[in-house]
Amino acid sequence: MLRRLWRGCVFSSQGLTDTYRGELSFRMEVWSGSLYVLFGYWFWPLLRWEILLLALSFLLILMAELVNTAIERALERLHPERHELIGLSKDAASAAVFVAILFGFVVVGSVVIHRL
């Protein structure tokens, strides 16, 4: 069981590394985390719920981008030609990232409003 868990961690880290190297949007989102840190520094001290929501919103953005990348890569491999349904599927996966980013803005806005 531990071996299986270890292998899962290795595969996950490979997925993170490959996505970071191969996807500009993922790299940009990872580095946008520094904006979260600057925001936290600016409004320090933060309450526990504020720290938690900021961290979770950032992780949600990264998770949505990872899923978006996986869907896009799989669809490009399975159906490399242009197709309307494939395009709609890729757009929906991209919209999930957009919604996660909007959630991040809502969290940041909530913290700002709470502080004012």
User: What's the full length of the chain, in residues?
Assistant: 116
Annotated catalytic residue, options 23, 29, 65, 72 = 65
Count other Cβ atoms within 10 Å, centred on residue 37: 11
Query: In 10 A of CB 69, how many CB atoms?
Result: 19
65 is known as an active-site residue? yes
H or E stretch at 114: helix 84-115
Q: CA 107, CA 18: separation in Å to the nearest integer?
A: 29
Between the alpha carbon of residue 47 and those of residues 36, 52, 60, 113, 115, the distances in Å are 15, 9, 20, 14, 10
State the catalytic residues. 65
